[in-house]
Structure 1
Amino acid sequence: MNEKWDRRFLELAKHISTWSKDPSTKCGAVVVRPNKTIASVGYNGFPRGLDDDERLNNRQEKLSLTIHAEMNAILVAEEPLNGYTLYTYPFLPCNRCAPHIIQSGISSIISYHMSDYSKETWWDSTNKSREYFNEAWVSVVLYKRGKEKRND
């Protein structure tokens, strides 16, 4: 794809992240076909049918129940994802999601460089993901936030 399309889908992932009820981290994901049409979207949240009112305030329970945005997008896709692109917001997928993304056949991931705020919590996990993606030949493209050009 090109930068204009990448930024559009990143903005969509950002918008979808606002659907999450998580009070601390809001993530969004968009899976895109090679013809630039959307195959599926996802955000971080609890499985269908589970009450989240009180559980969102219990960090341990919230962490064990939350399905990450990337996994939600993969799970709700109604087609094989071989050769598709995954757009994620606000940063690269974690090392829990990376193996599932690789196994799904997604061939490239596009996201933003991590903000200083996110580094404290997610730096080690996303670095491990990059190692997995590199080993599995999954392309990773990271954009700087704002209007600056991408930096792979």
Structure 2
Amino acid sequence: MSHRGPDAGEPLDLETFARVSAELEAGGATREEVLGRHALDGSRWERAAVFWSRRLADDAAADGPLAEAFAGALTPARAALGAPAMSPEDWAALTLDIAERGVGAALTARGLAAPVYFRLAKRWAEALPRDPALAARYTRALYALGRR
């Protein structure tokens, strides 16, 4: 199965589609900036998005291998982006906001996509147990914010 893009004149392979998709969902740059880094314009990106969305949907309906190939390209593309810098105080504020308003509202308010949140959660889940000073800052902030 070919992993070539919408037309032979303007190939956008599946791996490039996955990288651009990961960058767009991560935020931190405008759509135009992300597309520009990949020498794409909005029209070409839209054609590629429609093309790959249809191919992925058709492939999933037929239990084909394309979704697995896409996930295999998207996962490392997301991982390569890492997570944005966030202080323990900001992480505490996000944690409380999620508890109060729900994940969707809290992430939307900060312009964060779910995959970015999952990378942040992983980072903090690993960092807090290893770094007592960081954990203390987080705990103090969580307590202070919770008392408001």
When the two structures are superposed, what TM-score results if normalisation uses the length of structure 1? 0.25
The structure, 1 or 2, with the larger RCO (C-alpha pairs under 8 Å, 6+ apart) is 2
TM-score by length of 2: 0.26
Q: Which has the larger helix fraction?
A: 2
Q: Quick check: which has more Rg, 1 or 2?
A: 2
